[in-house]
Chain A
Amino acid sequence: MIDARPVHRTLALVLAGLMIFGNAPCAFAYLKFGFEVNGQQVTLKWNRTPVRYFVNSQDISGVTAADFQSAVAQAFATWQRVPTASITYQFGGFTSSTPGDDDGVSTLGFLNEPALDRVLASTSFLVDNATGALLESDIFFNSAFTWSVAPNGEPAKWDVQTIATHEIGHFSGLGHSAIGETQLMNGTRRVLSTGAVMFPIALGPGDISGRALDPDDIAGISDIYPDDDFNARTGSLSGQVTKNGRGVFGAHVVAFDIGNGDQIANFTLTSDGRFSIAGLRPGPHVVRIEPLDDVDTDSFFDPSEPVDLNFHATFFDRLVVVPRGGDSGTVQLSVSP
């Protein structure tokens, strides 16, 4: 067994953690965690449900363990309510275990980590080396920040349920989504807007909009844990992004549903620029390709990966029709420096 790399929720800019695996096969809805077993990439997921989780019994200033448990239970319920996904969760009780203990108990709780001054919360995994199955996942919330469990949030306090919703996405096997916009101001990157709960940077203290999932999140969790007919009722869009005839690695490709405005995305994850976006509503889609310029590439890729940022955002010149229960066929997308 090994300890998989942790994924961090950031306050502003710095993100730690590897989000994806290199040379992934192309049958994935946006970013999922992967794990290599005997040379094969497998999706990191829970093999048995309901997934039991425990809550650390320690209170912190302003948030009792009971309040904390109630807030995270609502966040778990948000994911469990996705009608096209089959994952379920179960509260196992309070525990004296702390997040990060490799004890086979998935634990959520607070830790005081003032040195991690940009990390609100973090999810870590314990993975079966032989099968790639998730054995344990812990989420720590950084009590160096001020937290709230108020139903409508509180100014200047981070909302436990909002941040928990993001971290439970990781807990369930999802990586970060890049659907969101940021802006550099005085050397710091500020979030303008997000189109997915799994966007790596939180909107700000007091904000509770991240309690609700976006289409990208729903497609992702449904892709990992599909219900009986999710794959039959949805379709995928796949293709290849090239620049000057060569594959582009790390391009962000967004499928925009012209009927309802849903945005679901993925990256080109191979050196020849191939991608696949699953979990799409059948019908015509606009395809937008952009470099990953909104957040640190480290939020999504290993720093050693050759992510290409040197091209202009553009739209594919045709609408792409996603068939029900099938794939669009390879769409050739060309970008220019």
Chain B
Amino acid sequence: MSRFVSRSSRVLLVLLVWLRPGVASAQQSSGHRIDLGGDVLWLTGLRFNDVNANETAFGGATRVVFRTSTKLEQAVCPEAKVLVGLTSTIEAEGAVAFGRTHLATSITTDPEAASATVSTPLTLYVLQGGVAAHLARWQRGRAAPFASGGIGYLRQLHDGHALVQNGPSWYVGGGLRYALKDDTARGLNSAALRLELRATILPGGSTVDGATHVLPTVIAGVFFHL
């Protein structure tokens, strides 16, 4: 765990260093601007490695009894997020999301039993924190692109509240912030849309099959300056 965190920190550091030179014409507001908003977090689904039911034949050869293929189905999760301006172009962000989906396993090639797909409902809890850096160099009018990165924690519970999987995650991504109104105003007069694409990386300890996977994630929401 500690190794994971330090590795993530290095990634973020690199990201910040790379982005800082281009911020001269970024937002005018001061360093501690706070935005609060609501997102829809779309976890687009994930297919895990296929796993076979193997037995041992004469001489140590492997004989497959049946094959399974498991996927985490897509989930649309409402998310609350807070953005805190650290500098004129760097924001810290923290978010919590909740959603429901299914874990589904397809079973094939069993000579004795019919192929089947079996599943279980899951409840997802997602906690994420990181930074977003506005790419002022490419800002066009009200649209400001940004890059993001951070770490998270994904907890998957079966409906009976049994833990299916949990563990850390990290993400990198980027998107566009579009100011609907005056971006320097406050409250409802400061509404901005935010669309982001992320690669959420789930390391082996956080996945059913123990392998690292990338979960494509789409986030869209609206934010207000407090």
Residues of A within 8 A of B (CB): 179-181, 191-195, 203-204, 206-209, 214, 256-261, 263, 282-284, 286, 288, 290, 312-324, 326, 328-329
Contacts and interface: CB of A to CB of B under 8 A. Distances in A.
A209 B63 CA distance: 13
A201 to B, nearest CB: 12
A330 B118 CA distance: 17
B163 A193 contact: no
B58 A207 contact: yes
A209 B60 contact: yes
Given A194-B56, A206-B59, A259-B208, 8 more contacts: A192-B63, A258-B48, A259-B51, A288-B113, A313-B112, A319-B105, A323-B160, A328-B162
Contacts of A263: 53
Given A258-B208, A290-B112, A181 B105 contact: no
A181 B52 contact: no
A286 B105 contact: yes
A315 B56 contact: no
Interface in B140-169: 158, 160, 162-165
Contacts of A323: 160, 162-163
A37 B51 CA distance: 43
Contacts of A321: 120, 158, 160, 162, 164
Given A283-B165, A321-B160, A258 B55 contact: no
Nearest to A289: B113
A195 to B, nearest CB: 4
Contacts of B107: 286, 315
B70 interface: yes
A296 to B, nearest CB: 18
B113 A315 contact: yes
Contacts of B120: 284, 318-321
A296 B178 CA distance: 72
Contacts of B182: none
Contact of A259 (B53, B54, B163, B209): B209
Given A283-B208, A284-B120, A321-B164, A181 B55 contact: yes
B55 A179 contact: yes
A181 B54 CA distance: 11
B116 A284 contact: no
A204 B60 CA distance: 11
Contacts of A206: 59
Contacts of A261: 51-54
Interface string B103-133: 1110100101110101110000000000000
B118 A286 contact: yes
B87 interface: no
Contacts of B162: 282, 321-323, 326, 328
A258 B59 contact: no
A320 B162 CA distance: 10
B63 A314 contact: no
22 contacts: A180-B55, A192-B63, A193-B57, A193-B65, A195-B56, A203-B56, A204-B58, A256-B53, A257-B51, A258-B70, A258-B105, A259-B210, A261-B53, A283-B164, A286-B107, A288-B113, A313-B113, A314-B113, A315-B110, A318-B120, A321-B120, A323-B160
Contacts of B63: 181, 192-193
5 nearest interchain CB pairs? A193-B55, A321-B158, A193-B63, A323-B162, A319-B120
A169 B65 CA distance: 24
Contacts of B51: 257-261
Contact of A313 (B53, B103, B104, B110): B110
B27 interface: no
A334 to B, nearest CB: 14
Contacts of A194: 55-56
B113 A312 contact: yes
A305 B204 CA distance: 46
